[in-house]
Amino acid sequence: MGSNPIRPTKTPIQNSPILPPELARFVNNGLPVLLTKFLTSRRQGISERTTEFYEYCLKPFVENYRLTPEGINRFLADLTCGNAKHAYYRALKAFCNWVTEEGYIEYNPIKRISPPKTSEPILPSLTPRQVEYLIDVADNTRDRCMISLFADCGMRLSELASVKADDIDWQNYTVTIWGKGNKQRKAPFTKRTARLLRRVIAENSKGSDVWHIEPNGIQLMLQKLKQKTGLPCNPHTFRRTFASNLHRAGIDIEHIMRLGGWSSLDMVLTYTKSVKFEDSLRIYKWITSALWLKGNGKNQLGNRYYDATRSTSVTVYSGATRSGMRSWAIG
Q: Map out the domains of the chain with their CATH numbers.
A: 21-112 (1.10.150.130), 128-264 (1.10.443.10), 275-330 (no CATH)
Q: Can you tell me the distance from the alpha carbon of 93 to that of 105, in angstroms, rounded to the nearest whole number?
A: 14
Please compute the mean of the pLDDT values over residues 44-51 and round it to a whole number. Answer: 75
Q: What global pTM score does this model have?
A: 0.63
Is residue 135 within 8 A of residue 148, CB to CB? The reply is yes
Is residue 275 within 8 A of residue 244, CB to CB? The reply is yes
pLDDT above 70 for 28: no
pLDDT above 50 for 142: yes
Contacts of residue 214, defined as CB under 8 A and 6 or more positions apart, other chains included, come to 161
Percent of the chain whose pLDDT exceeds 90 = 46
- Band (308; pLDDT cuts 50, 70, 90): very low
| Nearest Cα to Cα of residue 45 among 178, 143, 142, 154 | 178
pLDDT above 90 for 200: yes
Is residue 242 within 8 A of residue 151, CB to CB? The reply is yes
Please compute the mean of the pLDDT values over residues 83-87 and round it to a whole number. Answer: 88
Q: Kindly state the DSSP code that residue 31 receives in the 8-state scheme.
A: H
Q: Looking at residue 312, what is its pLDDT?
A: 47
Angle between helices 235-248 and 273-295 (to 10 degrees): 40
Q: Which of 53-62, 174-183, 201-210, 296-305 has the highest mean pLDDT?
A: 53-62
Q: Kindly state the DSSP code that residue 209 receives in the 8-state scheme.
A: B
Q: Looking at residue 324, what is its pLDDT?
A: 36
Report angle CA 262, 263, 267 to the nearest 5 degrees.
60
- Band (25; pLDDT cuts 50, 70, 90): low
Please compute the mean of the pLDDT values over residues 251-257 and round it to a whole number. Answer: 90
Provide DSSP, 258-316. Answer: HHHT-SSHHHHHHHTHHHHHHHHHHHHHHHHHHHHHHHTT---TT-EEEETTTTEEEEE
Q: How does pLDDT run across 95-122, given as a tens digit for each residue?
A: 999 999 998 888 899 999 999 887 777 7
